[in-house]
Structure 1
Amino acid sequence: MRHAEEVTFGGSALDRAAELRGDIPALAAAMQMPDTRTVVLWQGKPLVSGEEGALDLVRLPLDHHVLAEARQAPIFMGREDGAARFAHDISAWQPENVDLTNLGAFADPSEQMHPSLAPGERFAELRRVMTALSPRDAELAASAKAIFAWHGGHGFCAKCGAASDVMQAGWQRICPACGTHHFPRTDPVVIMLILRGNSVLLGRSPGWPTGMYSCLAGFVEPGETIEAAVRREVFEEAGVQVGAVSYLASQPWPFPASLMIGCRGEAISEEITIDPVEIEEARWVSREELALAFAGEHAEILPARNGAIAHFLLRNWLADTLE
């Protein structure tokens, strides 16, 4: 696919400098350099600034006093133009007189402003602002969000249950009791552009915004190929048989830790029989109907949210730029 790496969270070519993760003297020296910066998250929300349509991921110097709110060591994220980049989590901060009702919701509209930060700098839900960030900012924010979420849910050894230690500048945990090494988890998910003639198969899950439809998707199971996962998931969710399968593009999706593997599949049956446990509805949508939906003129269908790989795949199908 010609435009594969233009998907949100992909294609910025961040230098992750993995060779430095175990080099404690080099990391210590990097933390003293005047051009070193850190990105900051609170409750999974990155710190951003700017206008809504064109946001910047804020990079703070390591001596900024807001970093005193962090309760764990920073994560080494890599280098930008030769300068080290870290990430801090200040989720221990408790904002005053702020409504946190929608925190972590599907589309959390709230923003939080720390009194020690500059005017206009605020924490915003990544799903809501992801398309307003540059590719580099989006990759940094997504990577930081995913790695902090992993640490938050994997503080204990899955083998023996002992508390594990953070190593490799945040990119590994080691159990001091049994010696097991634990690495950040990424769950592979197939997401499918299933085509039959001039139509694409779309579905919706309960709890989605009214009218929103997207491509079918599901987790790859152990011992399963990507192609087999595509065929199994489509049949389980919609009862449609799939023949040829090809890869299109991928997208890191840090909600909380998936790699979305975008595939094209050719349907060899048409009748839909949904599994109501999996999805609420599925339907064939013609190219003309989908074009109306993207234009906001369809009476029943809203497309997948901008920034998601489903939106990216569907838009490229409409533009005939999949190949």
Structure 2
Amino acid sequence: MIAPGFTGGTLDRADALRHDEAGLAALTSDWRSRLLRLDGFDPVLMGDGTLGWTTLADVPDGAELVLLGLDENGRGHFAAYVPGMRAPPGRSPRLFGLLGQFAPGEAATYAAARSVLDWHSRHQFCANCGHQTEMFRAGWGRRCPSCKAEHFPRVDPVVIMIAEHDGRALLGRQPAFPPGRYSALAGFLEPGESIEEAVAREIMEEAGVRVCDVRYIASQPWPFPSSLMVACVGMAENDTITLDTNELEDAIWVSREDVRAVLAGGDGPFLPPPAYAIAFTLLTAWAEG
């Protein structure tokens, strides 16, 4: 099965250093340490698909460092949070183009950096008392100097799934998709429900199809801004579609043969999701049986 996009990172996250002020200070003083190059929140890629890095001498004035981890040689790798930086509300065509160019493992490092920097930009104030918070734990937390509450980067779980019936998979499309593209259905988990319950609820809400026997396939971090995509397959009790047009523009059943052909780059009844999306991984796993 193809590895999900934004996975396979090679940096050691070095959790112990997040609690070691002396060790962290030594790392930030080490001339070998590297700073991730970013264009706003977008990655800067080299010709071979690797991330661009520079030295800590290029840290912007007033910026705070987030420790991304250590490489195999013990070099520290950091990202810089510049107070006031804000991620754009959407993803530009340029960024979408870059997402398909990452060398293996590089997208995982970018995903961690983007998600944590975006979290800092949106969590400057304490949710408990409203006081401005301060970065700690090498950038992997914020602490309130007033009420002493501690806040940590959040990850929002999302189920992404296909229903299976009689050797066919249920796919849907949103109006924002490129023409012809269909993908797996998806939705956020809600408080008080399991992954299996969320899968069944979302498919019923969006397509009116009741499923059971939900099975897990794979997961993927999705850094826009910070979700965990949990890919599953559920067995449908029938194939009658009742579309929620507030959620989907269309939904179709597709055969394994059609999915295999489309994923291989051939003709078929739909355009597949991009290879870096876990929907591609999910469809590949399903098509392989």
TM-score between the two structures when normalised by the length of structure 1: 0.82
Q: Which residue number in structure 2 is paired with residue 305 of structure 1? A: 274
Q: 1:286 aligns with which of 220, 241, 255?
A: 255
Q: 2:93 aligns with which of 86, 108, 111?
A: 108
**How far off its partner does 1:106 sit?**
4.2
Q: Which residue number in structure 2 is paired with residue 18 of structure 1? A: 15
Partners of 2:7 and 2:91 in 1: CA distance: 22
Partners of 2:82 and 2:149 in 1: CA distance: 28
Q: Is the 8 A contact 1:41 1:89 kept in 2?
A: no
Q: 2:39 aligns with which of 27, 35, 42?
A: 42
Partners of 1:182 and 1:105 in 2: CA distance: 25
Unpaired segments ≥5 residues, structure 2: none
Give, as a single letter, the amino acid of the residue that structure 2 aligns with 1:264: V
Q: Is the 8 A contact 1:42 1:89 kept in 2?
A: no
Q: Deviations over 1:84-108 (max 9, x none)?
A: 1111256979xxxxxxxxx664452
Q: Is the 8 A contact 2:259 2:268 kept in 1?
A: no
Kindly report which structure 2 residues correspond to 1:3-152, keeping only aligned pairs within 5 A, or say none: 3=1, 6-50=3-47, 54-64=48-58, 67-68=59-60, 71-81=62-72, 82-89=74-81, 105-109=90-94, 125=95, 127-152=96-121
Q: Is the 8 A contact 1:7 1:312 kept in 2?
A: yes
Q: Is the 8 A contact 1:146 1:257 kept in 2?
A: yes
Could you tell which deviates more after superposition, 276-285 or 247-256? Answer: 276-285
TM-score between the two structures when normalised by the length of structure 2: 0.92
Q: Are positions 1:206 and 2:200 aligned together?
A: no
Q: Deviations over 1:124-149 (max 9, x none)?
A: x2x43233223331111110000011
Q: Deviations over 1:284-306 (max 9, x none)?
A: 11122223433555465111122
Q: Is the 8 A contact 1:41 1:91 kept in 2?
A: no
Q: Deviations over 1:212-238 (max 9, x none)?
A: 110001111111110000000100110
Identity across aligned pairs (percent)?
41
Partners of 2:84 and 2:200 in 1: CA distance: 44
Partners of 1:230 and 1:213 in 2: CA distance: 18
CA 1:203–1:107 in 2, change beyond 3 Å: closer, same or farther? Answer: farther
Could you tell which deviates more after superposition, 243-252 or 80-89? Answer: 80-89
CA 1:179–1:268 in 2, change beyond 3 Å: closer, same or farther? Answer: same
Q: Are positions 1:183 and 2:180 aligned together?
A: no
Q: Is the 8 A contact 1:41 1:145 kept in 2?
A: no
**How far off its partner does 1:307 sit?**
0.4
